[in-house]
């Protein structure tokens, strides 16, 4: 109950101090609809806070968060695909121009890839265990291509390799492929360091991550 009371106080603070700055823009968005330019795919980790990290305003980003900031490959069926539905909506309805897949340090999902066999086959974690399969290629790439002196180094490398893999999965969506080829859409891989607040971007032509401040559109 104490936690809920803190949230109630927080809402009052927001309404009195922050909301007035956004009120007119939000009212316009109710009339004209939302028009975010960015789809941000991040982890559900409570320490990852997209709006704070990037100092954005309501309406700037369409945000999808899930365990591990994983992207399931495109699959043409009528099952329930929550993350895929959000991606399709952002691209085909909202016409976003940028997609950011943002991983982060100390990711519990990436660490869990190494404890996968210890996760119980029970109803309490059945969907988590299935979802983690999306990270296994990152684990495989990490163990095959790199040597480490500590487990923490291995986890950090896995987090970055997962971003690489999720970017590949994005490129299985027909509409994304089409728009990227036509120059209407750009996809980005970012890595957020929880301990410093720094963000690094994936430079695909060199297969490395560089500080975000060095990013150019070239």
pLDDT band with cut points at 50, 70 and 90 for residue 57: very high
Q: Check which CATH number belongs to the domain holding 127 and give it.
A: 3.40.1050.10
Together in a domain, 9 and 113: no
Domain total in the chain: 2
Together in a domain, 87 and 43: yes
Together in a domain, 17 and 70: no
Together in a domain, 19 and 82: no
pLDDT tens digits for 2-47? 899 999 999 999 999 999 999 999 999 999 999 999 999 999 999 9
Together in a domain, 1 and 75: no
pLDDT tens digits for 168-203? 999 999 999 999 999 999 999 999 999 999 999 999
Give this prediction's pTM: 0.95
Q: Write out the DSSP string of 125-152.
A: THHHHHHHGGGHHHHHHHHHH---SSHH
The pLDDT score that the predictor gives to residue 217 is 75
42 forms bridges with which residues in the sheet?
Answer: 65, 102
Together in a domain, 80 and 164: yes
Together in a domain, 28 and 70: no
The pLDDT score that the predictor gives to residue 98 is 98
Rounded Cα distance, 18 and 116, in Å: 43
Together in a domain, 142 and 190: yes
Together in a domain, 18 and 79: no
Within 13 A of 120's CA, how many CA atoms are on the CB side? 4
The pLDDT score that the predictor gives to residue 1 is 56
Buried b (16+ CB within 10 A) or exposed e, 124-142: eeeeeeebbebbebbbebb
pLDDT band with cut points at 50, 70 and 90 for residue 67: very high
Q: Which domain holds residue 142?
A: 34-214
Tell me which H or E stretch contains 168: helix 151-170
Nearest Cα neighbor of 59 from 41, 37, 36, 42 is: 36
Together in a domain, 173 and 102: yes
Mean pLDDT of 133-141: 97
Together in a domain, 28 and 45: no
pLDDT tens digits for 154-170? 999 999 999 999 999 99
Q: Provide the 10 A C-beta neighbour count for residue 152.
A: 12
pLDDT reading at 215 higher than 90: yes
pLDDT tens digits for 71-129? 999 999 989 999 999 999 999 999 999 999 999 999 999 999 999 999 998 899 999 99
pLDDT band with cut points at 50, 70 and 90 for residue 218: low
The pLDDT score that the predictor gives to residue 51 is 96
Together in a domain, 24 and 52: no
CA dihedral 92, 94, 96, 102 (to 10 degrees): -90
The pLDDT score that the predictor gives to residue 121 is 87
């Amino acid at each position: 109950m104490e936690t809920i009371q803190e949230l109630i106080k927080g809402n009052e603070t927001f309404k009195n101090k922050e909301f007035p700055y956004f009120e007119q823009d939000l009212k316009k968005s109710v009339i004209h609809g939302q028009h975010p330019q960015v789809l941000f795919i991040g982890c559900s980790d409570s320490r990852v806070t997209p709006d704070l990290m990037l100092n954005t305003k309501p309406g700037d980003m369409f945000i999808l968060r899930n365990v591990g900031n994983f992207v399931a490959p495109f699959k043409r069926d009528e099952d329930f695909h929550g993350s895929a539905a959000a991606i399709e909506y952002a691209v085909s309805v909202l016409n976003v121009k940028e997609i950011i897949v943002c991983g982060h340090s100390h990711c519990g999902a990436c660490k869990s890839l190494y404890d996968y066999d210890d996760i119980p086959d029970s109803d309490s974690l059945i969907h988590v265990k299935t979802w983690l399969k999306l990270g296994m290629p990152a684990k495989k790439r990490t163990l095959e291509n790199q040597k480490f002196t500590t487990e923490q180094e291995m986890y950090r490398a896995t987090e970055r390799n997962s971003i690489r893999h999720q970017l590949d999965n994005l490129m299985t969506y027909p509409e994304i492929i089409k728009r990227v080829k036509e120059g209407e859409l750009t996809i980005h891989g970012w890595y957020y360091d929880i301990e410093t607040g720094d963000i690094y971007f994936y430079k695909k032509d060199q297969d490395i991550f560089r500080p975000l401040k060095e990013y150019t559109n070239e």
